[in-house]
Amino acid sequence: MQPYLLILLRTVAAFVLSLIASRFVGQPLKVVSGIALGALTAWTILDHNEPVYYGLLAMVTWALLNVCVRFFAMKSMPFRNLVNGKATPIVQNGKVMDQNLRKSRLTVDDVMTMLRTKDAFKLADVEFAALEPDGNLSVLLKSDRQPLTPKTMNLSVSNESTPAVVILDGKVLPDALANLGYTRAWLLEQIRTQGATTWEDVFLAQVDSNGQVYVDLYSDLVAQPAAPPNQKKLVLTSLKKIQADLELFSLQTNNSDAKADYYRHAQALKSMIQYLTPHMR
């Protein structure tokens, strides 16, 4: 038999074995296949007894087999279930499904351990649990055992956007600060209330959608305020935020009348802030 044909046959056989191994160990095929491909690469580099192109042929064949498997898995559901497996129901209405438990080669202790990792300590609290192909257990608690959320209590809450980093390594990120509508003066006051003196004292600072600032200082020895923030300072901060928003709206709008109104109200609010500042500290 030609060496090239022998390498192809061995590679295909090894790929089929890796497919079986992935199902046996409960790991995705891409993980097992990646490990095997790494082993092929190491063999190609370190084995000086065989020509390099033998190893390259095996690696290319392995990669093509992976591509073919993924292609057919997308086109055919039975083939996808064969390759990736499918979820197996383990618990239904608080009762363990014995037959599926034996098929999955699990014990009741194994199931209880996995349930505890999902904060489910009683089988009676579990509506449904399924063993995923990767070996993890997906758990759905009964409705009366699920945590309360604003939606379940019919409460309307605003969505919170992702916090933005405004200071990194002691340097202000002006674009991020401008997108939020805040000024450098406002940010400096915020970091000073949390123990920083200058920008260089701050390793990282984030601002969330509610205007709350998280500050991580370079020096862990700097005392952080333990008491809740002063309510007067919060009011002053909110006023400054509104002023910054008005100035930003004035710059963004193309309507001359709206631009003038935004600017006029921003200046009026600025004068009010200057008047209130001594009384709000």
pLDDT computed for residue 229 by the predictor: 54
Residue carrying structure tokens 């979820």: 87
The model's confidence at residue 41, banded by pLDDT at 50, 70 and 90, is confident
How confident is the model over 213-271, as pLDDT tens digits?
Answer: 999 988 754 444 444 556 677 777 888 888 888 888 888 888 888 888 888 888 888 88
- Average of pLDDT values for 13-40? 74
What is the average pLDDT value for the chain, to the nearest integer?
Answer: 81
How confident is the model over 44-68, as pLDDT tens digits?
Answer: 777 667 777 777 887 888 888 888 8
Residue 213 and residue 179: Cα distance in Å, rounded? 15
Contacts of 69 (CB under 8 A, 6+ apart): 19, 29, 83
pLDDT computed for residue 119 by the predictor: 86
Please indicate, yes or no, whether the overall pTM of this predicted structure exceeds 0.85: no
Instruction: Kindly tell me if the per-residue pLDDT of 155 is higher than 60.
Output: yes
Residue 225 to residues 50, 192, 212, 229, Cα–Cα distance (Å): 68, 11, 15, 8
Helix, strand, or coil (residue 197): coil
Residue type, 34: G
Residue 69 and residue 57: Cα distance in Å, rounded? 18
- Average of pLDDT values for 82-87? 74
How confident is the model over 185-218, as pLDDT tens digits?
Answer: 899 999 998 888 889 999 999 998 778 899 998 8
Strand partners, 96: 91
Judge contact between 115 and 123, C-beta under 8 A: yes
